[in-house]
Structure 1
Amino acid sequence: MTGKDSQPKHFLIVGLGNYTHPNTRHSVGQVVLDSLAERFQVPLSYDRSVMGWVGNTEIDILPQPQKGKGKGKQAADAAPPEPERIKFTFLKPKLLMNVSGKSVALTLRNKIRPSTNRSIIVLHDSLEQKPLKISPKYSGSANGHNGVRSTIDSLAGQDFHRIRLGIGRGPQDVADFVLEPLPSKELSHWDGTEAEGVSEVWKAVEAIVASAK
């Protein structure tokens, strides 16, 4: 548990997308963000100071099991690990994708304590991952994603977490492909409190939080 004299860890989870085009491939990050907010009963309200919808909560996160441990009588007799209470701020930018980083930077500066780029977890669509697949990544280039590029520019650094949500590639022009509605199978995978994709994303979030120093 977090000591009385220390601040709990505080993470910012961002769902990138174009709110004017809901449930499209390019907005799958916002689909998942909305599902997580509903899952943990976090109301999102519009905050002009950060140009986006924001909600706050605290969630208990169990430590991740260490490799090579957890076997034998001694482990069986050990007390179960205590969860750590973690603060989360959920953000859905109102700004369009290619300038959404400004909302991320404002929220980090104004809402997150302690404030560090490593406290950011960005959920975004990825052409490089197959549909329904997720791929966590820390730091690195935007790889052509305008929302990630805007976030890098606004933060003046690449060192933040991303969870890439696979949408694959279609035969048509990329700009047209990403603005198409998510196929029903993909939408049901990402939309809903108990949706399989949402559960996978949350496991990735837990792993990121548990590994934070």
Structure 2
Amino acid sequence: MKLVVGLGNPGKKYENTWHNIGFMAVDKTAYFLYAPKFKESSKFLAETGSVTNRRYSDKIILAKPLTFMNLSGKSVLALANFYKIKPEDIIVIHDDIDLPLGKMRISFDSSAGGHNGIKSIIESLGTKKFCRIKIGMATKRKSLMDSADYVLNKFTKDDLRIVEAQTSLAAEAAIEIIRSSVNKAMNKYN
């Protein structure tokens, strides 16, 4: 069984902001896997969906934590414990302020790198041995404002076109990890 988590903040206020790139990517992953619509689960503090596909040989749980970014670990831990999913079978898709817009990086067993959502997951799971798909969000505007304000900024129309392409690519990478392995996905997408 695999768990694919997209990080973000719940609510209309945060739609189309940099910090919600993970939500967008997990929505695309669900679309590509023909998963049913997400349902809100108070048990998991998340919107969740699942798909069982013989092609991928595993049940795939998809989740968007509703805890807000900095407490994402609570939701991930609840899901991992309930479904008995090992950390190495967890894929987390999130924004990365240090990667330029249009870039993506897959990593495994890496530090939080200043990302509070990832820090929360590492603290909750007690390990960093899980897969991450980092989607770049740094633009020229980043240097003009505080990072905390930047991540909650709305995309421009030009940015949105790039974000749409990158979230689709991240969804494809998540499926590649499920289908084959983290290493094969790294070789293909990094």
Match of 1:28 in 2: 21
| Residue 133 of structure 1 pairs with residue 106 of structure 2 | no
Normalising by structure 1, we get a TM-score of 0.76
| Residue 181 of structure 1 pairs with residue 154 of structure 2 | yes
Q: Secondary structure at the match of 1:188?
A: helix
Asked if the contact 2:7–2:20 (Cα under 8 Å) also holds between the matched residues in 1, the reply is yes
Structure 2 CA distance for partners of 1:144 and 1:197, relative to 1, 3 Å: same
Of stretches 100-109 and 36-45 in structure 1, the one that deviates more from structure 2 is 36-45
Runs of at least 5 residues in structure 1 that lack an aligned partner in the other structure: 1-9, 61-82
| Residue 11 of structure 1 pairs with residue 22 of structure 2 | no
Which of the residues 48, 52, 74 maps onto 2:46? Answer: 52
| Residue 152 of structure 1 pairs with residue 122 of structure 2 | yes
Of structures 1 and 2, the larger Rg is shown by 1
Paired with 1:129 and 1:13, the residues of 2 have a C-alpha distance of: 21
Paired with 1:27 and 1:118, the residues of 2 have a C-alpha distance of: 23
| Residue 105 of structure 1 pairs with residue 98 of structure 2 | no
Q: Secondary structure at the match of 2:110?
A: coil
Q: Secondary structure at the match of 1:205?
A: helix
Q: Secondary structure at the match of 1:182?
A: coil
Runs of at least 5 residues in structure 2 that lack an aligned partner in the other structure: 183-190
User: What is the Cα deviation at residue 22 of structure 1?
Assistant: 1.6
Structure 2 CA distance for partners of 1:203 and 1:34, relative to 1, 3 Å: closer
Asked if the contact 1:56–1:87 (Cα under 8 Å) also holds between the matched residues in 2, the reply is yes
Asked if the contact 1:132–1:186 (Cα under 8 Å) also holds between the matched residues in 2, the reply is no
Q: Give the partner amino acid of 1:11.
A: K
Q: Give the partner amino acid of 1:130.
A: P
Which digits, 9 at most, give the CA deviation of each residue in 1:36-58, with x for residues without a partner? 22333321001111110000002
Consecutive aligned runs of 4 or more in structure 1 exceeding 4 Å deviation: none
User: In percent, how many aligned pairs have the same letter?
Assistant: 30
Greater fraction of residues in helix: 2
Which digits, 9 at most, give the CA deviation of each residue in 1:8-46, with x for residues without a partner? xx1100010111312100111111112222333321001
RMSD in angstroms over aligned alpha carbons?
A: 1.9
Asked if the contact 2:106–2:133 (Cα under 8 Å) also holds between the matched residues in 1, the reply is yes
User: What is the Cα deviation at residue 202 of structure 1?
Assistant: 3.1
Asked if the contact 2:87–2:125 (Cα under 8 Å) also holds between the matched residues in 1, the reply is yes
Paired with 1:99 and 1:198, the residues of 2 have a C-alpha distance of: 22
User: What is the Cα deviation at residue 186 of structure 1?
Assistant: 3.0
Match of 1:203 in 2: 172
Which digits, 9 at most, give the CA deviation of each residue in 1:46-98, with x for residues without a partner? 111111000000245xxxxxxxxxxxxxxxxxxxxxx5423211000000111
Match of 1:90 in 2: 62
Q: Give the partner amino acid of 1:14.
A: V
Normalising by structure 2, we get a TM-score of 0.85
Paired with 1:40 and 1:84, the residues of 2 have a C-alpha distance of: 10
